[in-house]
Structures are given as C-alpha cells and as structure tokens.
C-alpha cells in the first residue's frame, strides 16, 4: 500500500489561515492604538473648547465664582468642572491644585487648566471613562471584522484549490499514465514551479524510452545476426544429410545447430527478462498468445492439449512478448522434460495450469544453468519463467505430485478491466 | 511452380535457392524490397518467401503494400524475428504463414506446397461447408475471411463431426471427444456444445438425427 503523505493544500490552507489570522489581530491592535491616540486628541480638544466657552461666560458674569466643583450635566461623574476667581479660595476637587495652564494626567483624571485675567477653569475627565470608550470601540471593531475573517476560510480554501488545480491535474496525469506509455508530458497550463519537475520527468521518460527501444533493437538485431548464419549453415547441410558417408555427421551437426539456436534464443530471452521486459505494459488476449505459442512449438515436439475452459478471450494488461516468452518457456520446458502429453488448462479465475507426466525423481530447477545430469536442456527455461513471473507480479506454484509435474500461474493480477474501455 | 525468395543474406539465399530448385521449382531471388517489387511486377508467383529485415526497408511494409493492392499471393514470412509481437504483426499484415530462422528446409518445402495448393483451390486440410472455411490442421474456422473463434471444447466436438463427415455420430461418441479435457462431463454437454456451434456457425452446419446423433452433411 502506498502512503498518501501530507497534503500540500491542507498545509497551505492552515498556514495561510494562521498568517491571515495573525495579521488581522496585529492590524486590529494597531487600529486600536491609532484609535486611542485619535480619541485622546478629540476628547482633549473637546475639553479645550469647553474651557474656552466657560471662561468666556464667566468673564461676562463678572467676579462670580462657583463655590464647588460640579459635574457637567449629563456626564454624571465622568466630567467635572471647577471655576475659580482670581485670588479666591479653591474649592475641593478630585485632583490636586494646579498652578499652570494646560492638559495633564492626574490620577484617574485627565485635567485641563485654562485661565483668563479673572478666572481659572479646570475641567477634568475620567480616564476610566475614556478607557471604557476605547474598549467599546475596540470591541466593535473586533466584532465587525470577525465575520470577515470567518468568510475568509472558504475563500482561502477555494482559492488554494483553484491555484493548485494544475498541480493536481499533473499528478493525476502522471498516476493515470500506463506503464508502457513513455511519451513526454505536455506543458499545457503547468505553473512555472512545476516546470522543472516536468522537465526532469520527461528526461527520465526519454532515457527509458531510448533504453527500451535500444533493447528491442538489440534483440531484433542480435536475433538476425545470430539466427541467419545458423539458418544458412543448416540449409547448406541439407544435401549432405542424405549422403551415405557424411549423412550421420551432417545430421549430428544439424542437431547441434538446432541446439545452438535454441540456446541463443533462450540467452536473448533471459537478457530481455533481466532488462525488465516483464515491467513493460500493454494489452493482450491471453488465448491468442497461448494458441500462437503452442502452434509454434516444433512439429512433433510433444502433444499439447489446450483446454481453454470455454473462454473465448481473456485480456491481460501486460506486454505480449513478455507473456509469450514466459508461456513458451513454461510449456516448452514441460514438453522437453516431460514423458507424455502436456495439458494446459485455463480457468475462469485466470489461473493457468500446465501439467505433464515426469520420470521419478524429477524436480523443478529454477536456478540459472541448473539442470539434471545428462539433461539436454539449457538450464534457463524455468529461470526465465521465474524472472518474468516475478516482474509481472504473477504468483507461480510448482509441485510434483504422483509422477505429475504441475505449475499453476495465477494471472488474475494482470486481468484487464475492460469496463474502463467501454 | 514459380517461387520468389526475398532474402538479403547471400549465404542463406544461395542454399535456399539450391534446395528449392532441387525440388523442381523455378525460383527467383530478390535481395531487397526494390528488387522484390520489380520481380512481383513482371512475374506471377505461386508463393513468396519473405524476409522482414531487408537492407532498403521492411518486408512487412512490402507485404502491406501488396495486400493493399488486393494481391492474394501466398506469402510465407521467413525471418529471424522470433518475438510474438513480430509474428502477430506479420499475420495481421496478411502473411499466410510465419516461420522463424533457422528452419528445416523439408518442413519449409511442405509449407510452400500446402500454401500453393490452397491458393489453387485444392487445400488438403481445408474444408468448405455452408460458406465456412475450416482449417482442420490449425483448428480454425473462417467466414468470408474473418475468423470465428471457437473454444477448445467446441472445436473438439466440431472436429469429431468433421472427421466423420456425412456419417451420424452418436452422443456417446461425441462425449468421448470431450473426455480428453479430464473435466467432469455434464449429461447435456453434447447438446450444449452443438447448440453453441450452431449459434456461431449457422444452424445448417450440424444436423440432428433424432435418436441417433448428429452429423455434418
């Protein structure tokens, strides 16, 4: 099972939300600070206006003075006013006596002292009241902005989803690509950040494609270069085989050439299997391949009875050559080392049984070049079968039972999902 | 008969020509696609033996061009390419047969004669019944060139009936044809396979003789 790993979109969503939230809080605090500063200025200016007004009124009324400080109507105890006539007694107030004009903080009060020739006006405003007003303004700001922040959540989610859509589409295209499709990925709509990834991936695909093509070319050329001279040699031997004096030797050489040709073919197959032929993808009808493989067995090699289980076709997702090499060696091995007809039986669950009678003491030999004494085999057939079955992910069970060799190849893992094509 | 051997290896071509001429055939040799096309333009051949890897092109392309022109000349591909994908490509391109080097010259000779006979309308192992072409040697059935796919058991029943063509085969005799598959045979197995064959091949191909059995007329 493949680990899913962490989600880029999830991490980005969390990070963006955290940063946006922190920024919003910082902005709110800054806003409250600015608001505080501006409120102080406005309220101070209000105190000055009131002081000027009171002074002007008092100047018009002569030398009367208010005997005591009093709260300005409507402000309860938040705003206090004290008017002194020059040289007169100072009525008590919640702040100490002031000697100079101007604004100052005095205990819990913000106090303004203003004077004219005959009067002194002191106006005090509760600092608690000012703080309370600021707190209410801050709360209002917070409550007004909170829905905006909550609204940001889905907006961030949608924005990130849209922004990451090309990356997600690219990832899906890579995941959906069949193993045998080595064409480069197009740059359509891909963001610049993913371009290096695409370029690197295309580089690997290019190299892989060249390697696969080179391997195919090599197999074709090697087969041509090796088989054609053998064919020519066999053809030249043909007239000698009927010669009374040279016939026996010619036939022996002919058999040796057949053996050499078989060995060359199996060495090439082993090389291809070890190069990863079984990992190449494709789509193929198992029964067509099975029939062709049985048909191409040398005439008179051994009788092979195919029981297709009344199945007309069975499509597999795998490379035709890899499957054919596997089947050729599996059935060919049964033919070569068995003592009777080979039965090949396919069942509906994509299990292929190959069975044949064998001599006592016969054993399966999967190791390379491992063969029984006096055997005319190459010691490669089952090695190739084992290699390819592993690469293709096909479980293979081999057993000897009552003088019968049985191999069951489970092909179900490679069964093609034809519904996807419909 | 007149044969065309398209083979670029001088050694192999010389030995092939000597062998085939020794069997009484008139044989022309072409070592390239161009030479083969020139020979095919001026002479009528009974069979062509075609290599795939030629110095100036692919024998497969030559075969495709030939078939595209409607030429039904029997072509046997004789090549070193032993991969199943090459074999499938060759057969799908219209080859009548595919042999891999090194081949036995006697067997090759037999194949050449069989394809020539077939082209002349006298195939030994081919039967024509009710618009069907049946190749018993290769266990295949065709209708108008298209293969009709039969399963192993369907073919076993048909083959048994063809082997006794014109005679009635009892249900027991047909069951024997199915015994080779080692599986348990249901009581109505013969009826089932005869019915399936009639569906695929046509009802007139197999006749029923009530109480006796079946026959292919």
**Can you give the pLDDT of all 217 residues of chain B as single tens digits?**
889 999 999 999 999 999 998 888 889 999 999 999 999 998 889 999 999 989 999 999 999 999 999 898 999 999 998 899 999 999 999 999 999 999 889 889 999 998 888 777 655 567 888 889 888 877 889 988 788 999 888 988 998 898 888 889 898 888 887 776 666 677 788 899 999 999 999 989 999 998 899 999 8
Cα(A125)–Cα(A131) distance, integer angstroms:
11
- Nearest Cβ partner for B80 among A228, A258, A306: A228
The two structure tokens encoding residue B150? 């039969």
Judged by CB atoms closer than 8 Å, whether chains meet at B154 and A236 is answered as no
Q: In CATH terms, is domain A280-422 a member of 3.30.565.10?
A: yes
Q: Which distant-in-sequence residues (6+ apart) come within 8 Å of A205 by Cβ? A: A182, A183, A184, A185
Q: Which pLDDT band, with edges at 50, 70 and 90, does A219 fall under?
A: confident
Domain boundaries, chain A: 8-134, 179-275, 280-422
> Strand runs (DSSP E) across chain B, as ranges?
2-6, 26-30, 47-50, 53-54, 57-58, 75-79, 97-100, 126-129, 132-135, 140-143, 146-148, 207-209, 213-215
B16, B149, B152 member nearest A306 (Cβ): B152
- Residues of A near B (Cβ–Cβ under 8 Å) read 219-220, 223-236, 238-239, 257-258, 261, 265, 288-289, 292-293, 295-296, 299, 305-313, 320-321, 323-325, 343, 345
Q: What token pair was written down for A87? A: 């040289």
* Angstroms from A361 CA to nearest CA on chain B: 25
- Judging contacts by C-beta atoms under 8 Å, the chain A residues touching residue B85 are 320-321, 324
Q: CA B84, CA A156: separation in Å to the nearest integer?
A: 56
Chain A hits for B183, CB-CB cut-off 8 Å, are: 307
| pTM, entire model | 0.68
Which residues in chain A touch residue B138, judged by CB atoms under 8 angstroms apart?
295
Alpha carbons B33 and B60: distance in angstroms, whole number: 10
Classify the phi-psi angles of B94: left when phi > 0, otherwise alpha if psi is within -120 to 50, otherwise beta: left
Closest-CA distance of chain A to residue B11, Å = 6
Task: Check pLDDT > 80 for residue A91.
Answer: no
Per the CB < 8 Å rule, is B85 touching A288? no
Instruction: Assess: ipTM above 0.90.
Output: no
**By the 8 A CB rule, do A360 and A400 touch?**
no
Residues with Cβ within 8 Å of B176's Cβ and at least 6 positions away in sequence, in order, are: B160
Count Cβ atoms below 10 Å from residue A108 Cβ, excluding itself. Answer: 15
Nearest CA to A29 out of A177, A141, A158, A184 is that of: A141
Chain A residues within an 8 Å CB radius of B158: none
pLDDT at A67: 46
Contact: A307, B101; criterion CB under 8 Å: no
Contact state of A232 with B152 under an 8 Å Cβ cutoff: no
């Amino acid at each position: 099972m493949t680990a899913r790993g962490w989600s880029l979109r999830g991490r980005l969503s969390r990070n963006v939300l955290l940063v946006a939230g922190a920024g919003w809080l910082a902005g709110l605090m800054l806003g409250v600070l600015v608001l505080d500063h501006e409120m102080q200025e406005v309220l101070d200016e209000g105190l000055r206006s009131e002081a000027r007004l009171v002074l002007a009124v008092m100047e018009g009324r002569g030398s009367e003075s208010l005997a005591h400080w009093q709260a300005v109507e409507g402000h309860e105890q938040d705003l206090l006013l004290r008017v002194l006539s020059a040289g007169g007694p100072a009525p008590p107030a919640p702040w100490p006596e002031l000697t100079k004009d101007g604004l100052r903080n005095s205990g819990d009060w913000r106090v303004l002292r203003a004077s004219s020739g005959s009067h002194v006006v002191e106006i005090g405003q509760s600092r608690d009241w000012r703080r309370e007003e600021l707190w209410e303004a801050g709360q209002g700001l917070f409550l007004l902005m909170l829905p905006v922040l909550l609204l940001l959540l889905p907006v961030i989610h949608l924005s990130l989803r849209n922004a990451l859509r090309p990356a997600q589409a690219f990832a899906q295209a890579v995941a959906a690509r069949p193993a045998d499709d080595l064409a480069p990925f197009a740059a359509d709509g891909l963001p610049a950040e993913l371009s290096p990834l695409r370029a690197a991936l295309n580089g690997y695909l290019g190299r892989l494609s060249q390697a696969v093509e080179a391997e195919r070319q090599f197999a074709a050329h090697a087969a041509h270069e090796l088989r054609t001279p053998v064919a020519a040699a066999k053809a030249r031997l043909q007239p000698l085989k009927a010669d009374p004096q040279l016939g026996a030797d010619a036939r022996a050489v002919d058999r040796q050439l057949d053996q050499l040709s078989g060995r060359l073919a199996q060495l090439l197959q082993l090389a291809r299997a070890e190069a990863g032929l079984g990992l190449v993808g494709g789509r193929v009808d198992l029964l067509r391949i099975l029939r062709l493989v049985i048909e191409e067995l040398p005439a008179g090699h051994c009788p092979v009875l195919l029981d297709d289980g009344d199945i007309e076709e069975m499509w597999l997702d795998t490379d035709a050559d890899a499957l054919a090499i596997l089947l050729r060696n599996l059935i060919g091995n049964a033919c070569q080392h068995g003592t009777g007809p080979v039965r090949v039986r396919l069942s509906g669950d994509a299990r292929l049984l190959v069975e044949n009678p064998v001599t006592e003491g016969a054993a399966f030999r999967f190791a390379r070049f491992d063969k029984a004494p006096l055997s005319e085999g190459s010691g490669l057939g089952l090695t190739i079968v084992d290699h390819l079955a592993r690469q293709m992910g096909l479980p293979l069970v081999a057993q000897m039972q009552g003088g019968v060799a049985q191999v069951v190849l489970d092909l179900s893992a490679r069964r093609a999902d034809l519904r996807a094509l419909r | 008969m007149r044969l065309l051997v398209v083979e670029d290896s001088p050694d192999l071509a010389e030995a092939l020509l000597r062998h085939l001429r020794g069997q009484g055939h008139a044989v022309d040799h072409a070592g390239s696609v161009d030479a083969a096309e020139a020979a095919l333009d001026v002479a009528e051949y009974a069979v062509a033996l075609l290599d795939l890897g030629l110095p100036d092109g692919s024998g497969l392309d030559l075969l495709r061009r030939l078939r595209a022109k409607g030429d039904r000349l029997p072509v046997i591909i004789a090549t070193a390419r032993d991969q199943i994908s090459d074999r499938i490509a060759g057969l799908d391109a219209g080859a009548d047969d595919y042999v891999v080097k090194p081949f036995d010259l006697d067997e090759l000779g037999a194949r050449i004669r069989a394809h020539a006979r077939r082209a002349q309308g006298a195939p030994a192992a081919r039967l024509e019944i009710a618009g069907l072409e049946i190749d018993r040697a290769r266990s295949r059935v065709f209708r108008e060139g298209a293969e009709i796919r039969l399963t192993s058991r369907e073919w076993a029943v048909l083959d048994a009936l063809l082997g006794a063509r014109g005679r009635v085969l009892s249900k027991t005799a047909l069951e024997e044809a199915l015994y080779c598959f080692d599986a348990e045979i249901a009581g109505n197995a013969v009826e089932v396979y005869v019915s399936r064959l009639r569906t695929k091949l046509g009802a007139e191909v197999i006749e029923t003789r009530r109480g006796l059995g079946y026959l292919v007329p």
